[in-house]
Amino acid sequence: MDVDPLPPLPPTHDSPPEPELTEPPLPILTPSGRPYRERRLPRRFVDTLPEALAPASMPQESQLEAEAPGPIRRVLLIVRDRLVTTANSFGVWRDYPRRPTIDPDGSLSLEELSNSHRVASKSFEMPEDRPASRPEAERPFYWPCPNATIWRVMAWLNNGKTAKSEAEATAFVETVIHASDFNKDELIGFNAHRENQRLDEALSRAALKSQFSESSVDILVPSGDPKVPAKTFSVPGLLHRKLTSVIIDAFNDPLSHLLHFSPFKLFCHNPLTKKQERIFGELYTSDSFLEEHEEVQRHGKLPPDDLGCQREKVVAALMISSDATHLTDFGIAKAWPFYLMLGNLSKYFRSLPNSGAMHHLAYIPSVCCL
């Protein structure tokens, strides 16, 4: 008698299935047969590169455009749009009380973040074979001298080193005598005093000096005796510029794209205390800047000639410095200039010698009181 085979039993859930046995991976061996070990560079030899702060997300253009007023009146509740960035590899992040419209730190390169100032200041340096003042593009590089030969001789004569050493003489021959545009025939009738007068007259008519106004300041000079009143002493020859014109120049110079208009607080994680700490190092991260920026946003007045102005209202942090500057290596000839800088610019760029971050504001005359 034929018997049908029994159907397979359904799987039961009482006992879990046996796991599949897998063989462990074979160790990686060196050519000598020993296990391979991963080698790491000691921490003291690891060069930690500088890193910019985490970028701040910018608002979309649709968010910046003002909505057209509708036929129905409505009350707008303005909520502060706070923005907190992520921390970088050093554990540093920014806290914006208002979302910024631009992020100057987002375009910084590794060379600009490094300690070396050669790359960062290279674009601000004037070429060695060009004068520092060229108000007109059509003027030749040897302006105001009549030719290139006399300009090279005068540049060597007025290079600030009154004592000409052997190295200076060698440099004179290499940079002046051996120059491709040097022509001895152009030195016929040469007179250094006349050329210096020509240079002084040209600089007096330069575009920079034409922006200054000359005024006289009255000051009270004490007599030294409490019974004798102080006398008024007039100081003529004060050269000064309008403060607004200097601010306009600062906003239009090559460093304007690095200005910070939205202040923020800077924080970091302390690796020892495991707590967050605030970092103070720039003017635009200080409480004073934050308070003034908030005051301008709340109560800033619109320009009278443009009451419908929708442009962003920002704070220009003015920093003024002054110090006596000696004009020669020997003697007492000196000038006392006033400079203006913007605190919206990072101190690491303001400290570059050739950055152009300092703008001339005024010159105090040196007078003798008889």
* Lookup: tokens for 34: 């020993």
pTM of the model: 0.57
Which is nearest to 267 in space by CA: 279, 285, 275? Answer: 279
Confidence class for position 165, pLDDT limits 50, 70, 90: confident
CA distance 27 to 98: 56
Question: Which pLDDT value is given to residue 287?
Answer: 94
Out of 105-109, 128-132, 278-282, pick the least confident. 128-132
**Mean pLDDT score of the chain, rounded to an integer?**
77
Lowest mean pLDDT among 129-143, 169-183, 308-322: 129-143
Confidence category of residue 317, pLDDT binned at 50, 70, 90:
very high
pLDDT at 237 over 60: yes
CA 30 to each of CA 27, 34, 37, 39, 169: distance values in angstroms, whole numbers, following the listed order: 10, 5, 9, 13, 64
> CB neighbours (10 Å) of residue 85?
18
The answer, yes or no, to whether residue 236 has pLDDT greater than 80, is: yes
